[in-house]
Amino acid sequence: MNKPFVDILMGSASMDLLSQVSGLPCAELSVVLTELEMEGLVQSVPGGFVRVR
């Protein structure tokens, strides 16, 4: 489930942009990003961005 989502994150992106691209509401997106962060696939950075490690 998370692999296609990780492909969206090539570089940095805001939560708003990720929500638009993925079609997920921000609340659901936050859950997915937290799971990906726990798996070590993304990292939260200042400014509300996430980036592929």
pLDDT(51) > 80: no
- Rounded mean pLDDT of 10-29? 84
Q: How far is CA 43 from CA 11, 12, 25, in A?
A: 11, 10, 20
Are the C-beta atoms of 12 and 50 separated by less than 8 Å? yes
pLDDT band at 1 (very low <50, low <70, confident <90, very high): very low
The Cα 7–Cα 47 span in angstroms is 21
Are the C-beta atoms of 14 and 48 separated by less than 8 Å? yes
- Rounded mean pLDDT of 21-46? 88
List, in order of start, the domains of the chain with CATH numbers. Answer: 2-52 (1.10.10.10)
Considering all CA atoms of the chain, what is the largest pairwise distance in Å, rounded to the nearest integer?
Answer: 26
pLDDT(11) > 90: no
